[in-house]
Amino acid sequence: MKINNHWLTPAHKINSPNCDNRDDEKDISLIVIHCISLPAGQFNTPFIEQLFTNQLKAQSHPDFTEICQLEVSSHIVIQRDGLITQYVPFNKRAWHAGVSEYQGRGKCNNFSIGIELEGMDCIPYTDQQYSQLSELIHCLMQAYPKLSIENITGHSDIAPQRKTDPGKYFDWDKLYRDLRVTD
């Protein structure tokens, strides 16, 4: 796994229009872990891609009527089987965090990389996801020197009034063990 011109190789690449320029491309200093499934609890559907590319149709599922007009994206999605898709180059600001704050800094999209794990905050994630996540984070830390193990957080930590992901079943200890093993 490598980063070439702010794109992860060999990730599947799909350009999301839901991004813009960062205020400071050199200030990539936070990794935010999210989870997503569309519809809730269903995996390996085309709907995450459709959401991140503004093609999600309200009539596809009753749950989509409120989210189909959203303009959101994450840099990366890691599916249950470990497949990685990148939607936004790392030097761009993906629209994943919303109203957020980390260690006194607001607007986390400005300085973070958003990683979505296909899942729900109420079920465990897969070993393939942890393996890919750990390798990805190491790769990111090599490419972006302000990133560190200490600056990895969950969406729930930067937006606690609004978000619960990645949830109680995300094994932070496993992630940190995996990251330290490959250090």
Catalytic positions are 116
Q: Are strands 12-13 and 19-21 parallel, antiparallel or unpaired?
A: unpaired
Q: How far apart are the first and last CA of the chain?
A: 15
CB 75, CB 94: distance < 8 Å:
yes
Residues contacting residue 71 through CB under 8 Å, at least 6 positions apart = 17, 18, 54, 95
What span, in angstroms and rounded, lies between the C-alpha atoms of 107 and 10? Answer: 30
Q: 131-141 burial, b for 16+ CB within 10 Å, e for fewer?
A: ebbbbbbbebb
Q: Give SS3 for 5.
A: coil
